[in-house]
Amino acid sequence: MLHILLLILKWIGIVLAVFLLLVLLLINLGLFVPVRYRADASCQNDIETLEAEFELSWMWKLFFLTACWKKGKADMKIRIGWKYLFSEEKEGKSEEKIEVPEEKEENDLQKEKEEQKFLKEQKESLPPEKTNRSLPENNVQEQAEKRECHQEKTESGIDKEEEEKESFTADRRKAGGRKKKPLWDRMKEKISEWIERCKSFWRKILAMGRNFRGKKEQIESFLTDASHRRAFCSLKREVRRFLGHVSPKDVKIVGKIGLEDPYMTGQALAVLGMLFPFLGENTVIVPDFENKVLEGSVHIEGKIHNFRMLAILWRLIKDRDVRKIIIDIKKLKW
């Protein structure tokens, strides 16, 4: 008996150990397997030639998201495991041919003709005494009469709809044919509406200013508090870490830009020059000071480690000053 209990406990321990190992494996995979993202775009001097694609994958593409823009159409796919959330099979089914009602009516008429021929042959083959008996021909005639009545009803309904549409268009034409107000009166109305909107906007700004003046001391004390300042510094530091971690590691930009006006082209290059330290060494932009040009391609690739995101979140939660500023913000009465 004791031997059996020990054997059961042994197998229970093995099962628990395997379960714990699986849980630890999943936790490690979730923490240390990064989320990868990639973006590609290209343009050939025309908006119609613009093509863009974005991919987001995790756990070796076990979770996969892709979005693309090609030929003026957007498309998105989400895959979890081996199953697409937006399956293409439904789209294929929706594109299947649907029988047109006219074709159905033609098929029904052909069937009726075939049935009538069959009944005539049966009549001719039967003796004259049996021909007077009821045959399914009467049912066929009744069905044909019913179909004719149904067609007449549908045609009458269509005629009514057409009459309603014609009356509606006639009313619209009459309304459009009425004389419009003079241009000066319409301008006066628009100007008066615009003035009223400006007045209401100004009243809102004045009300906000009064509220701000009444709570000026409260806001100043909130901003000048030593613990709040320390919380702002720690938040600023963690945001920098977050942006540095999320920023792409591989950036390649090759393009040609021109705005016809040399001054505007120089201004655009000056703005792009400010971004060169963040874009990296693989950025090549050729200016064109004479023509209007926008050509090139962009490739961005990077990854996000989940354990670093959790570390940033843990540092913020652990910080006493951050917890205090969250509580104080909730207590403020705006």
Any residues with CB less than 8 A from the CB of 119 and at least 6 apart, and which?
A: 135, 136, 137, 140
Q: Which of 20-34, 132-146, 269-283 has the highest mean pLDDT?
A: 20-34
Give the Cα separation of 119 and 103 in Å (integer): 25
Give the Cα separation of 145 and 141 in Å (integer): 6
Do the Cβ atoms of 78 and 86 come closer than 8 Å?
yes
Comparing 8-12, 173-177, 243-247, 253-257, which segment has the lowest mean pLDDT? 173-177
Comparing 55-59, 281-285, 303-307, 312-316, which segment has the lowest mean pLDDT? 281-285
The helix-helix angle for 137-177 and 101-125 (nearest 10°) equals 160
**Mapping DSSP to helix (H, G, I), strand (E, B) and coil, where does residue 201 land?**
helix
pLDDT at 235 over 90: yes
Comparing 126-135, 144-153, 157-166, which segment has the lowest mean pLDDT? 126-135
- Structure token digits, residue 181: 């107000």
* Mean pLDDT of the residues in the chain: 77
Give the Cα separation of 289 and 92 in Å (integer): 49
User: For 120-145, what is each residue's pLDDT tens digit?
Assistant: 666 566 555 444 444 444 454 555 56
More confident residue, 270 or 214: 270
Specify which residues 301 forms β-bridges with.
38, 250
pLDDT of residue 30: 87
Averaged pLDDT for residues 274-279? 78
Give the Cα separation of 124 and 315 in Å (integer): 99
Any residues with CB less than 8 A from the CB of 262 and at least 6 apart, and which?
A: 289, 290
Do the Cβ atoms of 318 and 47 come closer than 8 Å?
no
pLDDT at 197 over 90: no
pLDDT of residue 100: 46
Give backbone dihedrals phi and psi of 33, rounded to 5 degrees, phi first. Answer: -85, 120
Do the Cβ atoms of 292 and 260 come closer than 8 Å?
yes
Q: Is 52 exposed, middle or buried (0-12, 13-18, 19+ CB in 10 A)?
A: middle
User: For 277-307, what is each residue's pLDDT tens digit?
Assistant: 777 778 888 888 888 888 899 999 999 999 9
**Burial call 295-313: b when 16+ CB within 10 Å, e when fewer:** bbebbbebbeeeebeeeee
Phi-psi region of 152 (alpha: psi -120 to 50; beta: other; left: phi over 0): alpha
The percent of the chain in helix, strand and coil, each rounded to the nearest 5, is 65, 20, 15
In 211-333, at which residue ranges do the beta strands (DSSP E only) sit?
250-259, 283-287, 292-304
- Structure token digits, residue 161: 């709809």
Do the Cβ atoms of 40 and 298 come closer than 8 Å?
yes
- Structure token digits, residue 180: 């419009």
Quick one: how far is CA 64 from the chain centroid? 16
